Copies of this chain bind each other. A is one copy, B any other.
Amino acid sequence: MTKQLAEIRHLTAVGVGPGDPELITVKGLKALQAADIVFVPQSRDGNKSLAWRIVADYIDQSRQEVVSLLLPMTRNPRELVPAWEAAVDVIEGKLSAERPLGVYVLLGDPLLYGSFMYIWERLNENGLGPDVQVEIVPGVTSFAATAAATQTVLSMTHERVAILPASYETIANLKQMFETFETVILLKAGTVLPQLLETLEQLDLLDHAVYGERVGMPEEVVVTDVRQLLGQKRPYLSLLIVNKRINEMF
């Protein structure tokens, strides 16, 4: 790298995929291995180790610096905003002319329910735009991995797909979604799973759903008969795929 290039600092957000380290893209892997500094978001409930495990196999800690960023798993802006601001300060402080290449790793895809966009917004607000070049490397989503693991078709040619953050939905709204969409993907389903499954039961959809949790990780849970989960709360990184075709066509 020439001196001129090194005067620009780079931050590449890499979606490392849903959990299986081999579901990182070739492009993401190259960015990761070229990085001087690898930023790994970390939460108190163990999410750090999930993203970390994926990158741990691929990086060289004798050459590359790994920096944890504490991002609490909460909706409370009074906790979140200071955490994002602190993360931005850390990123700004670490990227330098000598070590200009940073990578920010995320599970799944960076722009679909990721933490990076909140950091990015603040990087822009701080006027870092011209000085820190941001690039995004897309990733495989958790729902694509769950569909693959359960051999569930997400959508045929003419079908509509709704992706919903389950814990923000009302039951009435969910019912309407199932009427309008052939496929409904309920993300972050675990903590509200009892209510979701009850709604599916009322709508006679229990036989037309599959459940995936940390798919591709050693702790993977995949359930194709979701009646087994009735009444259970499950972890946050979990989802349901609902489509009337499930258990009908194949």
Contacts and interface: CB of A to CB of B under 8 A. Distances in A.
A160 to B, nearest CB: 5
Given A144-B109, A160-B163, A165-B157, A25 B23 contact: yes
Contact of A250 (B23, B120, B140): B120
A157 B75 contact: yes
Q: Chain A interface secondary structure, helix, strand, loop or mixed?
A: mixed
A23 B22 contact: no
Interface of A: 15, 17-18, 20-27, 29-30, 75, 109-113, 117, 120-121, 124, 134, 136-141, 144-145, 147-148, 151-165, 168, 181, 249-250
Contact of A26 (B29, B75, B161): B29
Contacts of A110: 148
25 contacts: A17-B25, A23-B26, A23-B27, A109-B140, A111-B147, A111-B153, A111-B154, A111-B155, A112-B147, A112-B154, A117-B153, A117-B156, A136-B147, A136-B148, A136-B151, A138-B141, A138-B144, A138-B147, A140-B140, A155-B163, A155-B165, A160-B162, A161-B162, A162-B162, A162-B163
Contacts of A24: 25-26
A155 to B, nearest CB: 5
Contacts of A124: 250
Nearest to A58: B26
A30 B24 CA distance: 12
Nearest to A31: B22
B249 A121 contact: yes
Nearest to A135: B148
B165 A160 contact: yes
A121 B153 CA distance: 10
A117 B147 CA distance: 12
A137, A138, A145, most chain B CB atoms within 10 A: A138
A110 B117 CA distance: 27
Given A153-B117, A250-B121, A111 B26 contact: no
